[in-house]
Amino acid sequence: MGRTPITDPARLGSLHGAALAVLSEVGFARFNYDRVADRAHVSKGKLYERWPSKVSLIADAVMSLRPDVPLPDTGCLSADIREIMSSWSYDEAWYDSRGLLLGLLEASRDNDRMAELLEQHIKPAFAGALETAITRAVARGELADTVDAATLASMLTWSYATHSTGRIVDGVLVPLLTSRQS
């Protein structure tokens, strides 16, 4: 009995997961096919056959990532942000979302394809729900109408890579909201 073909959706998902896990663990500079092949139990040759470069493998894996980000409307921006950002930590544990964001940031510095993926795929997937929550908070008067929702959503998204959700919400967002109400 032969191995499952690399094109099988489950097998492909496993390979994508292995690539994302390696990227999140070691970053872009140390990412290599040996690590992915070991984790996915596949030969390096099979990986190179389908993806001729690490950029093409990472790009394909990133494009397969479809985060299921909720769009809560609790009436409170800090509660909405907690719910959104908590959804970014996946239960499957096949990769660390913070490490993945850092790996993609690192990759995007020197690689236009990675920068394009980050801007067109990852950033909207993660920051889009935050931007909606912020826009709703502005409409409710919870934030000043001069707040740039896209910029704040982007700042919150990238700060997530280095800080816990609680630190972001309790240490930055709640004090800002509270000081405005005084």
What's the pLDDT tens digit per position in 58-113? 999 988 876 678 899 999 999 999 999 888 765 554 567 778 888 888 999 989 98
Q: How many helices (H) and strands (E) does the chain have?
A: 11, 0
For residue 175, is pLDDT > 60? yes
What's the pLDDT tens digit per position in 30-66? 999 999 999 999 999 999 999 999 999 999 998 887 6
At 119 the pLDDT is: 84
Domain 9-63, what fold? Answer: Arc Repressor Mutant, subunit A (1.10.10)
At 29 the pLDDT is: 94
Q: For the chain, which residues make up each domain, given as ranges?
A: 9-63, 66-181
Considering only residues 164 and 83, tell me which one the structure prediction assigns the higher pLDDT: 83
Residue of 127, 152, 159 whose CA lies nearest to 137: 152
At 165 the pLDDT is: 80
Mean pLDDT of 118-123: 82
Considering only residues 68 and 179, tell me which one the structure prediction assigns the higher pLDDT: 68
The pTM of the full predicted model, rounded to 2 decimals, is 0.73
Rg (the chain; Cα; Å) = 19
59's tokens? 């790009």
Considering only residues 7 and 134, tell me which one the structure prediction assigns the higher pLDDT: 134
Residue of 30, 173, 58 whose CA lies nearest to 118: 58
- 181 — pLDDT class (breaks 50, 70, 90): low
CATH number of 66-181: 1.10.357
- 1 — pLDDT class (breaks 50, 70, 90): very low
Residues 107 and 114 sit within 8 Å (Cβ to Cβ): yes
What's the pLDDT tens digit per position in 3-39? 788 888 889 999 999 999 999 999 999 999 999 999 9
